[in-house]
Structure 1
Amino acid sequence: MKILQLHLVAFGLFTDKTLAFSDDKLGLHILYGANEAGKSSMRRALTHLFFGIPERTQDAYFHANDQLRIGARLQGDNDDELICYRRKGRKNTLLDIHNKPLDEERLQIFLGGMKEAQFTALCCFNHEQLRQGGEDLLNDGGDVGKSLFEAGTGSLKVHEVLAELDKEKDELFKARGSKPLLNKTIRDYKEACKRVQDSSLSPNQWSDQAKKLDETQQQHVQLTHQLQTLRAEQHRLERIRRTRPLLQRHQELKAELANLAGVILLPDDAAAKHFEVKLALRTANAQEEQTRQDIAQLQSQINAIKISKALLAQKETIDDLRGRLGSHQKAARDLPGVRTEMRTVEGEARALLRRIYPNLDLPDVAAQLAVTNQQRELMKTLADKAPALHEKQRSIAKRLEELTQQLAQHRRTLEALPISPDLTVLRAALARACKHGNLEEIQAKDEYDVRRLLLQAEIGLKQLGWTGNLESLEQAALPRMERIDSFDRRFNEYEIDRQRIKERLLEARQRNERSTQKINALSWAGEIPTEDALAKARQARQKYWQLLNKSKTKGKAKETKEKTNLSLFGEINEATPSLFSKIGSTQTLSFDEDEAELPTSIGRMKINDLYQAFEEAMLYVDELSDRLRREASRVAEYSMLLAEQQSAQLEQEQQTRKWHSVETLITNLQTEWEDSWKSTSLKPWTPAEMRGWLNESLSLRQQASVLRERHQQLQERQQLIAALCQELTEAITLLKTFIKGEILKHLSDLIEQGNVCVNEVTNLQRQLENLQLEINNLAREQQRGEAAQLQANDALKRWQTDWAQAITLLHLAPDTPPETVRNVLNDLDHVLNKIDKANGLQRRVGLMQRDADLFRRDVAALVQWIAPELVNEAAEQVVPELSNRLSQTEKDLTRSEQLQHRLRAEQQRLTNASQQVKTSQAHLQALLEQAHCHNLTALETAEQASSHKKEQQRELVEVEQQLLEQGEGMSLADLAKAAAAVDIDQLPGQLQSYQEQVQQMEQERSGIDQSIGELRTLLKQMDGNANAAQAADEAQLALAEMQHLSERYMQIHLAASVLRKSIERYREQHQGPVVKRTSELFQRLTLNSFCALKTDYQGSSDQPILMGQRTPESAGIPTTGMSDGTRDQLYLALRLASLERYIDKRSPIPLILDDILINFDDERSKATLEILGELGQKTQILFLTHHPRLVELAQAAVPNEGLIMHRL
């Protein structure tokens, strides 16, 4: 897509401003304007055109909000065009050329579906964003992923966004933290739940209040139902009251339409057509009458005009004479003056000739002083040569004298200089030394790098907790990453099992506690009879019965010596029969069939006591049986709670066993995990932590390999430096005479000393060569000077001969100086000019006289032909008269033609008016036939009746529509039937009665609502003395807050993860091609200060970073080591490379740049503009600036066919 035309109708400071861009090419468009010329407004205008003007805009200071308009003509990829305008508003803001709403999808097709945020981030940026991009490269350390992501998407401060997300996530939750909000909320929730469990209830009172609440709520439901019934009936009567007048009007309209059934319905415009036809007929009749009168008047005017054809035939002759009349009159006035001037010129020529040649007169000049132009030019040429010849002769003599002196001086200097030595050995040694670059600087830098790497390795070893050195770490047998992953997986699986068992164990405990609480709550209302208690009571009764039978058989009974209180059942303590007054409560009987298990005290009881005990046991069994029937619901609930309790306890025991089993597995796995690290003498952390430890250790191992290579390079370079120093020392020793001081030791000093020596010898050689060359040149110049001297003497002699011969034509002596000859020639020229002028004036007088005679003869001949009455008049008077007559005749001819044209037009109008009369009469007859009328009066009556019937029909439709709207879906028949069933006189009273009943029931329901609220409040206060309710509310609040914070934590965690994965995925997809293209652009933007851009790893980080290279062999320079301007250029290269890739994969989109080169120098600005010019062949670029220097650089850097200038 490209912009063909931008029309700022009313936006910012612009009013009806149009910018026309090229139709046939993309190119780089430079939009230049001074400060406050509206560049920023134009950039915002493009964005607002595509995506809408925001609610609050800063560009409405000159035009009102409702007047803001931006328009453009766009061209898509398929050469289809769209013209659209944007206004400020909330909907339908995109308009077409006719100011009609335009679908936004039409514009989105041209934008390729790009949203506003993506467009402003990718296709619009200024110097501030460029500056921020450079700072981000510094803060990120040149991280490849983040740098490519920021440049490719236009997003800035990605590292700050990630840091803010991580910070907010840590403020919400930490695994082992206590201060984060989510940790604190979880702790509050647990404490509130514990308080709810610790609180107790009052079952009887709570049950009574709950019963009252249920009854009150039932009343509320019944009252609400009654209220709905009353309101429905009230609404039905209101509907009847609203629709009754409309129904009555409906009946009236139907009756009226029935009376109008015989009226013919005419078209809606029948009356208007009737009026138009009558008006047209009257107009045509009047026009026909008026046209006939106009035709008669025009014919009379045409007949009154008389035209002379003879005069018109001589039009050209009269015009010629009128043109010649002025010159004829002027010649008559000038002739006396010309004659006087001729005599004056002849006198001046004669006086000038006497001053130079007194014996000659004007007629003798041509015969005796006839000098041709060639002879005259020869004299002037010879006169001009004389000074040069004499000057050349003098200058040659002076130069020969100077050359003789210089030759003598140079030969003395040459003899005083020493002999030049041979530099072959020294130059060869210097070439070999310089071929490797600054070896000592490279050596020092590498030594620093080695020391830095060693220090980093030591720091890394300390961070790892490794007690040995780097070599021992390199040789240590470390577990493989796959084995660590296996341990991590197994630990995670065991931990998941443990957490699952823990959750189930906690759930079982909670179930057990809930069951116990509910059992205790049921027990507060009294002992609960069970089937087990009944079975045990029956067993006791059977035992007493067996004892009684045995006592009867033996015929004796033993009295008990002591009375012991016996408790038949340990669980029954409150419902005790009279037996328990004699049997102690400290013993418990076992009612098995074996009698030997009974307590020995039973054998000592009297027979009467046994009867009494048996009787009480039997009564107790009956009572239990009755209670089981009466309290069946409580017994069933109690049994279910006991079963739930036993199930929870069993589940708790099972999960406890599983917990210990998993703990044993984790302990064994931990032992195995620690054994796998025994060879390293390390106490391993968790597998996840040791995975990072292993990565760092592997990085240190790689660093150890790098260090060995660096040490080897240092040794080889040191040997090379020593050999080069030895070779330079030997070579410099041979030239010691040219060295000041002693021979130095360091390689750089020796190179500098060798260069000084070479320069000294080279200067000597150059000085010797220059002196010898100068001597040779002077000698050759001396020879040329002597030859030139001979030539100058010969030339002077030849000139003297030619000069004497040339001036003989002027009758002058041979030795006459050239200046005198020049004066004579000038005076002679003046004389000749005067003679020529006098002759010209004489010829002019003759011509003027001849023209005057010819003009008079032509006038006389014309007058004789067309105006004999003017024969005796002067020619000067006749010509104006004839001209006036011709003008009047031409006017009469034009008037006649105009009248003829008007006559034809009036005749056509007469024809048209007659036709219009016939047409109107036909239309009027058609209207009469349509209405079945015979005259115009009947037609007007029929039109009024038709209009009245249509009005009634329209009103009937409107009434029916209102009835359907007011009837709320009921048909007209149903509405009429419902209205007929109600007495209209009783309707207001019924409505008033229903309204009063509704108000009364509303008041009753309000009172019930208040009672329900009070009962609910009382129940909350009774529930654990209000502590449980308050704790439950706090728990619910804490739970809601936990949910909110958890959702927020998950959102932040997911956002950070998605952003990091997006950055990494973007890096993987674009690193290769984008970094390669960025490297090419970066090299050009920095004017080859950096030869390339590469990705490398630095320190212990596993993330690649961008590094620049000065030379292919040099070490990389990270972004932290670059200047601010270089980082800006790197970010610009990244942005342009990413944009090129976007354009190659998708369609072109305009790129808008706002003064991005503020901080660039001229050379780098020129390079940037050259790149933008190349990119402009792929997509349209709008470059806004207020710097005239950038305009000059763009004109120099970009070819004319790719650069388009616009001035704001």
Structure 2
Amino acid sequence: MRFNYLNLRAFGHFTDYEINFDPSKNFHLIYGLNEAGKSTALRSINHFLFGFPQQTLDAFLHGNTKLRIEGELQNTEGETVRYIRRKGKKNTIIDTNGNVLNESMIDGFLHGISDNHFTNMFALNHETLREGGESLLESGGNLGESLFSAASGISVLRKVFEDLEKKSADLYKKRGSTPELNKLLKEEKELRKEIAQYQLKVQDWKELERKYNNGKKEIESLIREVKILSSEREKLQRMKLTLPKIAKLRELRNKLLELGEVPALPDNIEELRKEMVQRLESAGKEKMKAEDEWEETKKELQEIAIPEGLLEQAALIDALYRELQSYQNNVKQAPMLEAERKLLEARVISFMKEIDSVHVRLDHIEKYRLRLAKKEKIRELCKDKPLLDQALETNEKERREIESDLKAKEEEYFSFPVPPNIEELENVIDIVKRAGDIEESLKLRIIDNNQTEQLLEEMVKQLPLWSGTYKELVEISVPVLAETIKKYEQGHTEILKNLEKTDEQFIIQTESISNYEEQIHHLEALTEIPSEEKLLSIRSHRDQGWKFIRTKLERGDLDEQAFNEFTNGKKIESVYENLVTDADAVADKMRSEAEKVGAKKKHLDDIKRCKDKIIELEQKKDELIKELADWQKSWDKLWESTSIKPLSPEEMREWVVKYGQIKGMFHGYEKEQKAIRELENKIAQYKQSLITVLASLVDVDQQKTLAELLQMAEKQQRKVNEDWNKRTRLDDSISGIKHRINNLSFRNKELYQKLENWKDQWLEAINGTNITDTTSVVVAEKIVHMYEECTKAYDELNGVEKKHNSILEQIAHYEERVHNLLKSTSLSYDGKAVDIVVSELNAKLGQAKEDKVRSKELSNHIKRLETAIREAVLEIDAAENYLNDLMMQAKCSSIEELEKVEVKFIGKKDYENRIRTLEEELIDIGGGLSLHEITKEVDQFDRDSIDVELEEINRKLSEIEPVRSELEQSHGVIKKEFEEKIQGNNTSSVLAEQKKESMHAKLADLTDQYIQIKLASTLLQKGIEYYRNQNQDPILKRASELFERLTLQSFSELIVDYNEKDQRVLMGVRDNGEKISIDGMSDGTIDQLYLSLRIASIEKYGNENEPIPFIVDDILVHFDDVRSKETLKILLELSKETQIIFFTHHSRLVEIMKELATQDQFQLTELNSKEAVNV
């Protein structure tokens, strides 16, 4: 795949900026000065292929929605796709007509490469080059990591491995104590021990159960007694509240009977009566008020009078009044316009007299009106004449000055000596300069070599087991090989591991014994578990008693001493009977507790087995200690030839590495000494060459340094070159002056011809005017101006006359309309001015309009008042009718009688409401009894004895309460213990179990994390190793060739070797066969190694897949010219396989590329111009 072109339509500071990639070339060098847009163009490539990021820095000129990048891609089959990428969340790919394209079209050219993959593998700048070199250094040259990092462009592999290792170590470490998993496992073990301590013993159970049941019964008895007393107290308190309410209820019922029969009236009778009386009074007042107001309004309406015919002419009066100001202005303006007309007429005649005093009449004015083309032609010719005169004068003056200058230059040229030939001098200077600043290089080498010597001395001082010089050290022979040390180290490690395992097994067996003893103790915590040995012992003792009895029965004689010891003064039959009982009891116990007996026996067997194992471990440990002593003797003997008392294999392996480093550094030191001598000889040779070539030009001091001699030679070179340049410049200057003189002569002829042409045009232009051929151009311009002023004044005169006549007509028409208006009305204004008449008419019209509106308002008001009077009459009738209805219901004939009946009705309603309220209160406090049952219950109680009975009940309750409280408190403690332990666990046990479950969940989670991290590290390592196995040979072979070229043969090849950990690592090989590890290379060399691996990986990818363009951004900023040229040569070769786009802002690289390749091999594009420049 390749780019054919990119068009930054709207991106960054670019607008419609196109970069073409020549299809016949595959190496494109894009050069731009700082701020020319190189970085912007670089970003456009990624955005074009993979889309704009959500946040972009390139939308400062064009908004986010306007950003566009157009381009065309082409694959190896010749297929192309052209599209435009816009910024957005979806449908970001469109064609040139704005139609949305499918993203899969682009994926077909990229073959699944993502944005990150493209950036990491196919884009490289000086920063990522440096990071890649650092990653090689951090990995120690690990072969797999180096190949994978260079191929993928991922330069943080070592950091990933370190992060994974750190995370796993933070979770778990063998024999560690601080990692989370280690701490949790220790806590879980302690928690299991804690839970075992919370078990309840059987012998405490019966006493706890007895106390709990007795306390429970006593409390229940007290509660029953309290309930009975409380029920009796509540009943008495209810009667105490009920008695006064029953008495009040009976009183109210009697009063209700005393009222007798009362007519049924509305509940709000009083409110209705008052409302109707008020409405009757209010309606009467409203009626009287409306009648009085009607009389006054009628009188005011009759007093209004409007002049006849005035309102009919309202539109005309309004129009005349609006035009009054215009009329007044016209009256003032008419005399002023007449005066202005006279002034303009006099001015026109004055102009005509100045131009031509013969034809001074207004009817001849058209003779003074020149055509526009004629006027402009005269003006144009007036401007041209001074310019032609000035040009002739300037041309002639310049010609005289140049001829004088030519004479002076020719004199200087012929007096200048011919400079000497310095070709040999330039060759020597070029040779010396190509060698570079070798004096400074020599100085630095000497300083570096001295530092190397000091470092050697320092390293030897820090080397354990050695007190001699570094020269003596490199002379000794250390025959011990890395593999031998490794073998001894493995043997030593194996012995120590076995010792450690033995100690661990000893601790495990000891802890197992403790655990088994603890489990036996746990089994016997509730009841004693007899063992088989105990049963055998009791039975043996019993059988011995039986032997005594049988002997006595059979023979009659006994061993008195043994018999007395057995019976201990007791009767033999009692002793034997007790032993039989004990043996049977133990046997019965063993049968009932068979499972526990078996468990105890197993634990006892396990304890015996553990003790036997401990004896074996102690014997094995003694053997390992002896084996360790034998190993030490063999190890010491291995180093006898070096007179060194060796340390541990690990330390001696490090000692051998340091010894090798010192020896390698010493060889480098000697090689550098040889190079210093060669540089000194070369400097002397260059100095002699410079002195020889300078001797013919200047006196030379033989003691000067090479730099001083080179400076002197360059100074002479510049001087001679300046002389040649000066002579050449004089020659060029003389030729140029002669050419200018010829040009000025030709110009002179042209100017004289133009002057003749001007005269012909002048005569033609002034024909028909009062300008003659002798009139100067200045005067002619003034006459043309006067023609214009004359006709302009006449045109103004015509305009003023027309305006004056129009105003007079407007005044006459306005006055006529006013006189006609007065005739149509009954008004008379004899002798008054027209504007005063119009103002007065407008004022009277306004008053007439107001009177008309007022008249209409008064008429409407009269109608409203008449309506109000009718409504008041209806309101009075309605109120009187409603009051009559109320009196009929009350069976009375007057308002006063109605009020008396009203009082009795309200009293009846009050008694009924109060009776109803008392009945509801009695039912509420009656404890569910009906009103009849409550009355019946009250009649059974003696009112005077209620308080006495209540006092007695309260006394009994107050005596019971402290007893119950004390009993409940003491029982609460027993109950809490009983409820906790009856379930087999107390609160502490439950909490401990919950904590254990939580701990197990956390252990599972952390274990999963640890497994994931370890698995990730393993998979990454396997992936790297797989990549190494698949790609090591082809990539390493090509990278070795490239590395040799990039280091300018400082290294001859790359090889794979093994480090002290037996890991495959990359090493560089010098011409003399010396191997240099990555950490022994300079930063620049490591960068060149990374670049070699990167280019080799890209070549391999291109051979096996669709090639992808390689985007390079100024990777040579830290390379000198020679290495830059070699790198560009390699990239030029790579461009035969894939497209290379190389960005730079260093003009020196452009020069090197032009020296290195022809125009047919690469394309140069400059970003500092409007369009791409193709070379």
TM-score interval, smaller chain: 0.3 to 0.5
> Scaled by the length of structure 2, what TM-score is found?
0.43
